[in-house]
Amino acid sequence: MFRSPVQTMLAMVALACAITAVVVGLALREPYLGVDLRAGAAAASGEGVTVAHVTAGGPAAQAGLVAGDVLVALSPVSGGSGAGLRLPLRPVDLIEEPDALPTVTAMRGFFAEQGARHGLLSAGPVALEVRRGGETLRLVAEPAGHRPVGDLPWVFWTQLFVGFAAVVLGGWALSLRGSEPGVVCLALAGVALSLSASAAALYSTRELALPEALFARASAVNTLGSIGFGIAMICLFLLFPRRYLPRWVVGAVIAVFGTWMVLAVTRALEPVAMIIHIPVLVEMICILLAAGGQVWATRGDPHSRAALRWFGLSVLLGAGGFVGMVALPQALGLAPQMSQGHAFLLFLLIYVGLALGVARYRLFELERWAYDILFYAGGVAILLLLDAALIWAVALDQLPAFSLALMAVAFLYLPMRERLGRMLSSTPQLRTEELFDRIGAVILSPGGQSQSERMRQLLTDLFHPLHIAEAPGPVPVARLLDGGAVLEVPGVDQAPPLRLHWARRGKRLFSPRDVDRVRQILQMMTQAVERLRAYDAGAEEERRRINRDMHDNIGVQLLGALHSADPQRKDALIRQTLTDLREIVSSPAGEPVLLDDLLGDMRAEIADHLGAAGIALSWEAAPAPAQEVAPHVANSIRAILREAAGNVLRHADATAVTVRIGLALTGEGVLDRVILEVTDDGRGPARARAEEEGPGPGQTSEPASRRGSGNGLRNLRGRTEARGGQFAFGAGPGGQGARLRAVLLNEAVAPLREGLRDAGE
């Protein structure tokens, strides 16, 4: 076995080309007169054959032979070798197939006469005994040494094409699934058919005669191919779609028909019917029985039934048609119902069925890429054949002939190959824009039922399944079941997992390519769901931030305005509140702020609020360096100081508040941490803690208007600890009053801090 599918395919193409080249070469070596002979009216008398056509300019035309003459005999020109020899011509000499003769002895006599006639035509000038009207004429012709390519009839090329296609298509399957016995049988059947058809093409389209040995061997090769084809097809249906009989049955078929084939090829049996017609008929009956056994064996397997229906029907029509039209009439002593050369076209039905089976039901498990191998190999074959035709027929030199052949393949065959490949193997496709729209519609559908319906519609538009149902259980990944009859699709978001039955409205199975397509779509959907959820989470987080900032910053501003008796101060506080509100909503990140300016503004604001309520403020702050603090740190400083002041105003009943601000710098003098501490001489933290943690057993919850500080403390703790800081709230020194302490990290120096730590390590 070859190492790769391409090597196997190219080897089979080379074999097909070699068989074709050998047969064409042998056909062109025949001596040539340029006549087309028919049995015609001469068949009634049993003597002579009718000249149906004479090629203009050919040897027979130059000798004076015309259409309508009756060619009676051939003889050497007087004085030549074999003087006195006369070889009569009879209608039986024109038979296409020597198997039509009754006995092997008659066949051997027929071959001997053909050989004598070929020897006479090859020796030089020949005398043609012609009956024209009521007189007999003697014409002298000089046969050409070889037959022109253009004189080979189309039925010759038809039989060669059948043999070529059989090898190539059988090799196509072998290159991809060569490990399966059924595929090996198909490839062997293709080689056997090629031998039979090519040998028949050589001798059935001869002009007058072939050498005795060549004719006898070609007839034996035809017999070998015919019986070998039957053996391979019987074994194929015993093994494919499934092996349903013991292995010894296949061995018995090979042994029995192989022995019969040896007897037939060696002409060991006298009656021709026993060596050709009867074996072929028996093989056809066995093919029917084997196919019938497959029908029974695959009764519960729709995949195998589908493959059997297409391929089996093609075999029965192709091989059965040939047997019924040619082999059976000859076995009964009757004339064939059609020309053997034309009847070989019936075998192409087998390989048409193979192609359709691959396209619709993945016959032999060949996938779309199998068509690429087939079509590229076809391009190589066309290139070689066209190159040979240009050299032989047009007499071009090798380089120009190869160049023209290469251009023809590149500009004509390859574009057609792409289109034909899409026609045979493509599945319904949505345009990219439509696919994205459908995926978006599925993800954005409100509710599970609507999303499930849109998911079903998307899969319907992609694959046109015969039926869609919800999967009975979880589906972890997209996968095939029942040999491709079912495609399982995992659920996405709120859409449940689904099962799709039979693609293209029941016309074909699902393939691994369909699975890959579903996985890609599911990946896009999953990413879209994750992004949608991330967006929703971001929007929710932004809503909470706005709510937190409004609580921590806006509340104390409004509370100061509420306690102020001065209308001008009240208006100023409300205007500042509106400014802060706009900043919270429109500029969540903010801008870096100079620490000195920030602390100065906060001191004035807090003193103003507390002073309006008659509470004294003591502000103790370390000298602030001329440095900026990160926007989040600035917001946290404002929120902590405002919330602390607000709690004092609402709950503490205090008379004095002390604010201490400490600063910690790095070794380079960069601000590292800000320490805030707010203490008061009020009633202590018991109420505030109760409000933060909620009422205990037996306790009564505070009114809604008094629960704000609990949320405020939680907000401050979360805001601080989320960025690596520390937060504490409890009783003041000596258990008197309350103390709030927060340590904030200046995020602007975080990269510097990590770099210094790494350097120290």
Q: Which residues pair with 76 in a beta bridge?
A: 126
CATH no. for residue 173?
A: 1.20.1070
* Separation between Cα atoms, residue 136 and residue 421, nearest integer Å: 61
Same domain for 168 and 71? no
Same domain, 55 and 187: no
310 pLDDT tier (thresholds 50, 70, 90): low
Residue 314 lies in a domain: yes
Neighbours of 102 (CB within 10 A): 12
Q: What is each CA distance from 746 to 52, 80, 590, 596, in whole angstroms? A: 109, 121, 15, 14
Summarised one tens digit per residue, pLDDT across range 162-198 is 899 889 888 887 876 766 788 888 889 899 999 999 9
Residues 229 and 276 grouped into a single domain = yes
- Shared domain for 308 and 216, answered yes or no, is yes
Q: What is the pLDDT of residues 479-527, one digit of tens each?
A: 888 767 788 999 888 888 999 887 776 656 787 878 888 888 888 888 8
pLDDT computed for residue 370 by the predictor: 45
Q: For residue 144, give the DSSP letter.
A: B
pLDDT at 109 over 90: yes
Q: pLDDT of 86-104, one tens digit each? A: 899 988 888 888 888 889 9
Distances (CA, A) of 509 to 505, 514, 515: 10, 10, 12
| Secondary structure (DSSP) of 250-309 | HHHHHHHHHHHHHHHHTT-SSBHIIIIIHHHHHHHHHHHHHHHHHHHHTTT-HHHHHHHH
Q: What is the CATH number of the domain that holds 38?
A: 2.30.42.10
In 3D space, the residue among 354, 374, 371, 372 whose CA is nearest the CA of residue 363 turns out to be 354
- Cβ-contact 204, 245 below 8 angstroms: no
- Whether 651 shows a pLDDT value over 70: the answer reads yes
DSSP string, 601-646: HHHHHHHHHHHHTT-EEEEEEPPPPS-EE-HHHHHHHHHHHHHHHH
Bridge partner list, 664? 673
Residue 727's H or E segment, with its range, is strand 726-731
- For residue 170, the enclosing domain spans 5-26+152-366
Task: Specify whether 638 is located in the same domain as 742.
Answer: yes
Long-range contacts of 230-233 (CB under 8 A, 24+ apart): 230/257, 230/279, 230/280, 230/283, 230/284, 230/286, 230/287, 230/319, 231/192, 231/257, 231/258, 231/261, 231/283, 232/185, 232/186, 232/188, 232/189, 232/192, 233/185, 233/189, 233/283, 233/287, 233/315, 233/319
Clarify whether residues 21 and 64 are in a common domain.
no
Lowest mean pLDDT among 273-282, 500-509, 545-554, 730-739: 545-554
113 and 171 part of one domain:
no
Q: Is residue 410 part of a domain?
A: no
Instruction: Read off the pLDDT band of 754 (50, 70, 90).
Output: very low
* Statement: residue 705 has pLDDT above 80: no
Residues 133 and 187 in one domain: no
CA 492 – CA 403 distance, rounded (Å): 56
| pLDDT band, very low/low/confident/very high, at 258 (cuts 50, 70, 90) | very high
Tell which of 343, 366, 389 closes a domain: 366
Last residue of a domain, one of 366, 381, 409: 366
pLDDT greater than 70 at residue 380? no
Range from 286-300, 337-351, 576-590 carrying the lowest mean pLDDT: 576-590
Express as a percent the part of the chain with pLDDT over 90.
Answer: 24
> Is 424 inside a domain boundary?
no
Do residues 619 and 652 both lie within one domain?
yes
Quote the mean pLDDT of the chain: 78
Domain identity same for 215 and 134: no
Report pLDDT digits (tens) over 199-236: 999 999 999 899 999 999 999 999 999 999 999 989 98
pLDDT tens-place string over residues 408-445 = 766 776 666 656 555 544 445 666 777 777 787 787 77
> Is 407 part of any domain?
no
Query: Per-residue confidence at 46, pLDDT binned at 50, 70, 90?
Result: low
Residue 632, in any domain of the structure = yes
Structural domain contains residue 740:
yes
pLDDT beyond 60 at 15: yes
Q: How confident is the model at residue 377 (pLDDT cuts 50, 70, 90)?
A: low
Last residue of a domain, one of 345, 366, 387: 366
pLDDT band of 1, cuts 50, 70, 90:
very low
Identify whether residues 711 and 609 lie together within a single domain: yes
Query: Among residues of the chain, what percentage have pLDDT more than 70?
Result: 70
Looking at residue 752, its pLDDT comes to: 40
Is residue 612 over pLDDT 70?
Answer: yes
pLDDT in tens, 474-489: 888 898 887 677 889 9
Distance CA 157, CA 430 (A): 43
d(CA 635, CA 649): 21
Number of domains making up the chain: 3
Strand order in the sheet with 616-621: 616-621, 656-665, 671-680, 738-745, 726-731
**CATH number (domain holding residue 672):** 3.30.565.10
State how far the Cα of 664 lies from the Cα of 671, in Å rounded to an integer.
6
DSSP assignment string, 172-190? HHHHHHTTSHHHHHHHHHH
Asked, for residue 319, whether it belongs to a domain, the answer is: yes
Per-residue model confidence (pLDDT) at position 65: 93
Would you say 661 and 621 are in contact if contact means Cβ atoms under 8 Å apart? yes
In a domain, 580, yes or no: no
- Identify whether residues 225 and 241 lie together within a single domain: yes
pLDDT tier, 594 (very low <50, low <70, confident <90, very high otherwise): confident
Mean pLDDT in residue range 705-709: 38
**pLDDT tens digit string along 237-255?**
898 778 889 989 999 999 9
